[in-house]
Amino acid sequence: MTTAEDALTGLHNRRSFMSLLRRHIGLANDHQTNLGLAVIDIDGFARINATHGFDFGDRVLVHLANQVREVARKQDYVARIGDNRFALVLTRVMNKGHVELAVQKLFRLLDLPFEAGATRLKLPVTVGAALCPMHASQADYLLRQAEMSIEAARAIGQHSMFAPDNEQDTGLSEFWDLEIELAGAVERGEITLHYQPKLRASDRQPVGAEALMRWHHRTRGLVSPNLFIPIAEQTGQIRAMTMWAMNTALRHASEWRGGPLSVAVNVPANLVARHDLPDLVENALHLWGRDSIQLTLEITERSLVADPKHSFAILSRIRDLGVKISIDDFGTGYSCLAYFKDIPADELKIDRSFVCGLLDDPACADITALIIDLAHRFGLSVVAEGVEDEATFLALLQRGCDVVQGYHFGEAMPPDAFARWLAQSSGGPKHAADDFATG
């Protein structure tokens, strides 16, 4: 074995792979030919290790390596570029169709279950693909395009996906520097948490807040969460950032006066299925938890789609810790009544798109009323976000909504400002929050 080989599979390792990819992209650019890249990721590999043991997991990795080798032609290259992630470099392809043929051949090979001893397993994988120069003409960015396509495929329940075509490349590459700088943003103190009040609809009294990340970039200024959160998800930084947010939110909430109060933290879809999430939550509670503070984790519906049974088991373990689960943006994703009755959740959050259209769009009004009624029938409370005026609040109150949040009551505030708002609040719309907000 050479230093360019992966010890387990004998494939090129990541360092060797990147060198090969750069060289062959250069050749493709020089000769004006196409190069295809397919990145293969095993779905639920942590669960495979936990269920069958690490020795079995290693055999699975070797098996997949061999199957990808079967797909590769003599002029192609196969590498292991992560724990359970492989890459196939397809040189001198004519078009996207040739890459798609290679991907479909791999799926056909994996249709046959892998056998080891008495265990048979049909190996689930998701493949992201990209083409040079169509999607990128630089190695790091081509790899990023393919890896982003894996997450995009999983988000909509598909097993493979190509990167978006050229018209979207400029927008993504424009923020390449943000990916690098985001890595140290927490340590530099640029990432902070702001808190948006949540109020009980029946008497407008505070019941807690949702913790929201803010990034004050040293040269760009305030960077929108709609930009940096997807970047964090795509680059794998979201796990550390989420755990930082959870610990920080609990620490801040421990200083709030009054109670009981809740603090809600958003957990992205790719963390919900992790076996270690309950342990990480338990550690945060052990460090910062208080009897007067209720931790709530907000997850999206798409977190549950890939493997509802597994996700439900993880969430049930978290609820056993006394943590509440909230389904965020309910009604916009993959709402399915077939598994709705089994969701281990405590509340639903009505998406702001329905709340904003409540007064003018009969369909939004009907959907909102349906969600509230459905939730109450299953013993769940309902939170409406995006409440921006009194008329919308009254319409939600009339329909039985339990908790509200939005600019009508207070925008997201820095920790000290929210603590002051909380101490001074005494009912009614909290427009005074604007006096405390600094960003």
Domain assignment of residue 361, yes or no: yes
21 and 56 inside one domain: yes
| Per-residue pLDDT of the chain in tens (439 residues, 90 and over written 9) | 566 789 999 999 999 999 999 999 989 888 888 999 999 999 999 889 888 889 999 999 999 999 999 999 999 999 999 999 999 999 998 888 889 989 999 999 999 999 888 888 999 999 999 999 888 888 998 999 999 999 888 888 889 999 886 544 444 444 566 777 888 899 999 999 999 999 999 999 999 999 999 999 888 888 888 778 888 887 778 889 999 999 999 999 998 987 789 999 999 887 887 888 999 999 999 999 888 899 999 998 777 766 778 888 999 999 999 999 999 877 655 455 666 778 889 999 998 888 888 998 888 899 899 999 999 999 999 999 999 999 999 999 999 999 999 999 999 999 999 999 998 885 444 443 333 333 3
424 and 305 inside one domain: yes
317 and 403 inside one domain: yes
Q: How far apart are CA 216 and CA 128, in angstroms?
A: 32
The total number of structural domains that make up the chain: 2
Out of 169, 197, 215, pick the residue that ends a domain: 169
Domain assignment of residue 415, yes or no: yes
195 and 100 inside one domain: no
Domain assignment of residue 5, yes or no: no
Q: Determine contact, residues 234/269, Cβ cutoff 8 Å.
A: no
136 and 203 inside one domain: no
pLDDT (0 to 100) of residue 419: 93
Domain of 185: which CATH number? 3.20.20.450
∠ at Cα 189 (187, 195), nearest 5°?
Answer: 120
Out of 140, 169, 198, pick the residue that ends a domain: 169
144 and 225 inside one domain: no
40 φ/ψ angles, rounded to the nearest 5 degrees: -115, 125
158 and 189 inside one domain: no
135 and 77 inside one domain: yes
375 and 318 inside one domain: yes
250 and 133 inside one domain: no
Q: How far apart are CA 231 and CA 247, in angstroms?
A: 21
**Domain range for 297:** 177-436
Q: How far apart are CA 95 and CA 99, in angstroms?
A: 7
Q: Which of 80, 82, 99 is nearest to 90 (CA)?
A: 99
377 and 259 inside one domain: yes
Domain assignment of residue 324, yes or no: yes
